[in-house]
Amino acid sequence: MMDRLLLTLLVAAFFALCLYGMWRGWRRQAREQSVRLPPFPEVPAERGEPVLRAGGVYVATTRAGRWQERVVTRGVGLRGRATLRLFPDGVEVDRAGANGFWIPRESIVDIGTAKGMAGKVMGTDSLLVLTWRLGETELDTGFRGDDLGRYPEWIEQVKGGAQV
């Protein structure tokens, strides 16, 4: 009986230590990225009317071309429900329960679809990915829309109105 209790406590302590190590790693990565990356642009007060709107899930922001290298600084590393809105001057990423951010249209480098990003992998091109420039760094922001059939409209509107 005592051996079983001791073994159970040992396993619980091991898992707690693993969780603590992951938490410390996440925090270290956030600190390092906060030095290398400027703050994400805030959503402007005057945006006008959205050209397009899509509900879905904000998946992640990663370094461009490195789909597993998640950006975690300033809270952008957390996946969750979001609304994507396209305005003439940029794209608003409005995240439920978290700070949203703004992608200025002049910062957008490319837009397309992808099969996966930062731990979220699907069998089809189910992610809408905006590649954009933040300071000297290019980032990919992934969004899984509720209606995948609207992706071509998003791609056409963003490429048609931006310096992509």
Rounded to 5°, the CA angle 66-70-73 comes to 135
Q: Reply yes or no on whether the pLDDT at 164 is more than 50.
A: no
Which range (61-65, 104-108, 131-135) has the least confidence? 61-65
Asked if 127 and 69 touch (Cβ cutoff 8 Å), the reply is: no
Range of the domain at 118: 52-161
Asked if 131 and 73 touch (Cβ cutoff 8 Å), the reply is: no
Q: Reply yes or no on whether the pLDDT at 113 is more than 70.
A: yes
> What is the average pLDDT value for the chain, to the nearest integer?
86
| Residue 32: inside a domain | no
SS3 139: strand
Look-up of token digits 């270290």: 28
DSSP assigned state of 47? -
Residue 155 confidence class, pLDDT cut points 50, 70, 90: very high
Residues 15-50 have pLDDT tens digits of 998 888 888 876 777 777 666 788 888 888 888 899
| Residue 9: inside a domain | no
CATH number at residue 148: 2.30.29.30
Q: Which amino acid is at 19?
A: L
CA distance 162 to 156: 10
| Residue 144: inside a domain | yes
User: For the chain, how many structural domains are there in total?
Assistant: 1
